[in-house]
Structure 1
């Protein structure tokens, strides 16, 4: 017996199937995994111009000099390097770091950046957070809070020398960082300024360097309440920060504790100083407010420098909310890293300046621009603490007598004491 005979309709069906398979094979041969121009990354991406940039242009391009970039690249390479496969070559660590620094420096969206980086937005959405976490892991030791009494005293000595506020161990402030509304979050991240945000709380030393940062608290937390959610506050209240015990103010027998200085967004206590209420204020209280404002401005200016150098803070950050922390922490650690590595990182135009001889105050350039980081809501004065008020009165008496400086009476008439 031979094979069964096929009807003419069955033969026609087989022929049609074979023809369609041949056509589909031809079509598969012409398909690409990516768009053709994305295959030209080595020839036409922004990487090709980096070799021709002058030092100043390179610094503007990546917000750091070539030496700092190469050092950072060596640090992060083991964390972000990927293996090549038989199918395609991986994106190199240098390309990953460059494109991440460009996002932080410019605030470009992934859709915009794909045309200069020649990397698809889908890949960028994975590269940027991963590289930001790698940057933070490598540089987080630059954000170092004093751990011993002697280290805290050294920090206080710098504040006394540069800003004439003895026993000050840090300036504290919080800012709202604008984000796109997280899906399904309701009003959880909606703040009092009517936009969606997460809160960045920072403590800064006398040199505009962050010694503590906390980020991720949803923007609906206001009245300085974000501080109470941090481990900094927990350790401060329990005495675990190792602050030095109270000691005499310079040239006096009056004892005072070591304190952080902040604005009206924070509740006062024995270790956190804030301004006197501006309503009905007297001369001695105005002097205290000026001296506190002079020390506190270092943290405002640190945030201003951060937003001027890393323009991603000048728009709504449009990434998954769990990746916002990576961007913020990477920028803060880069700020400290570059503050120590580059003498020209902080330009005079970025910061507030006092001309004591001419009795003038010049606002930093960041204050004239559209606000990038919005201050926390001011707290209700009923939150004042009796012990904190006593400490504030002690400092006010000191600043008006033994601790007075020659320029304070003139400067209180030209300084905007509440710069928020």
Structure 2
């Protein structure tokens, strides 16, 4: 066939192209949603295996229905002539499964018979609504003197650290942004979750930073917590005497060496050339701030999404993390024994030696660089020294602390 014939033949074929099959709005197997996969398993577990249901979604049947009743008005959709809406029950289920496992949207798409992009939209919306309906009762920062005194009493009674308003810690959350032109497109990129925890492993405050800052101290400086404490917008109780003494001491938070030393934020002495009293102080501080480590460990053990790279932009990632924190506090109140079994967290034996919680062998966080204890104010330094002396005095010492240092 010469060149001209070849061109004619090609054009003739194009005149009568083969008929294409008409496309439907979705893949055929997605039309069987609710009739196979995870929805069927969830229904069977709900009837025959309550423990299996809880392992699947991290909540029991009663808690699932409670959450569904709270969130359904905000996530329910109407059916259309073209398709049947995904139920609020399925939306909550896929979201809880995502939070519990951190599985990819593609994997959840197959399990639930829902399109991958739709799974992403459902997770973002449902997490935002979960935080909305739970935050008032389960994720709120104290704003009155009685509320802060209750927090401080918890640290005094359980961890023997006076005037403590909470333990602060911070962890990195990895995101994988997919939008072209985004300032976060060079993934992975870390968001920094900084939180305040009470003596019972409840989150009292959370800040999710959108800058990749080197240390926790840098994150803390950007939060509204520091300014709120300085201006007393949180109604923190005024300074008062330490128990059994006339030494006046303000109320404070406790943190590790990655945070700055301030009058309302106590950190350890640098771990070099410590004298005996400084070692005692560091031990006593570590007992109080350990609750924050454990709270983050519980969170990651139960809601493993915080350990996995999240393929979304920073704002929806914030909704996901806030939903996980809200659910943590909700289950801490509603199902403490099953949500936080004793072996999961650090405990002390009869001689007060630490028995590491099981979460420590299961959870690995990205390390955060230590901050420098540079140029603290004189009042902050004097306050730490007063606490150091108090913990070694008859009024403030513990019978076993000498064996720990």
Q: Give TM-score, length-normalised by structure 2.
A: 0.90
Aligned match of 1:243 in 236, 248, 254? 236
Equivalent residue number for residue 6 of structure 1: none
Deviations 1:251-274 (A, max 9, x none): 111111101000111111111000
Match of 1:377 among 361, 369, 374: 369
Structure 1 distance, partners of 2:53, 2:404, is: 40
2:158 counterpart (159, 162, 167): 162
SS of residue matched to 2:82: coil
Q: 1:106 — aligned with what?
A: 101
**Do the aligned partners of 1:79 and 1:134 also contact (CA within 8 Å) in 2?**
yes
8 A contact 1:204–1:299 mirrored in 2: yes
* 1:97 paired residue among 87, 92, 109: 92
| 1-structure distance, mates of 2:388, 2:101 | 44
* CA–CA distance in structure 2, aligned partners of residues 181 and 95 of structure 1: 26
Corresponding position: 1:74 with 2:93: no
- The CA deviation at 1:366 is 2.3
Q: Say which of 398, 405, 409 aligns to 2:390.
A: 398
Contact 1:174 1:200 in 2 (8 A): yes
Are residue 41 (structure 1) and residue 33 (structure 2) matched?
yes
What's 1:32 paired with?
24
1:275 maps to: 268
1:72-126, Cα deviation, whole Å (9 max, x unpaired): 0001001101110111110000000000000010110011111111111011111
State the SS of the aligned residue for 2:35.
helix
CA contact (8 A) 1:188 1:218 kept: no
In structure 2, the partner of 1:348 is 342
Between the aligned partners of 1:55 and 1:189, the Cα distance in structure 2 is 43
| 2:147 counterpart (145, 151, 175) | 151
Q: Does residue 63 in structure 1 map to residue 58 in structure 2?
A: yes
Q: Residues 38-95 of structure 1, C-alpha deviation per residue, up to 9 Å, x if partnerless? A: 1111211311122221111111111011111101000100110111011111000000
Runs of 5+ unmatched residues, structure 1: 1-15, 413-420
Is the Cα contact below 8 Å between 1:168 and 1:261 reproduced in 2?
A: yes
Kindly indicate whether residue 200 of structure 2 is the aligned counterpart of residue 207 of structure 1: yes
RMSD over equivalenced CA pairs, Å: 2.1
User: Does the 8 A contact of 1:179 with 1:197 survive in 2?
Assistant: yes
8 A contact 2:176–2:185 mirrored in 1: no
Matches within 5 A, 1:299-318: 299-318=292-311
Check conservation: 1:187, 1:220, Cα contact below 8 A.
no
Query: Separation in 2 of the partners of 1:217 and 1:387?
Result: 32
- Structure with higher Rg: it is 1
Alignment of 1:251-330 (within 5 A): 251-330=244-323
Q: Distance in 2 between matches of 1:362 and 1:185?
A: 45
C-alpha separation in 2, matches of 1:45 and 1:188: 34
Equivalenced residues, count: 385
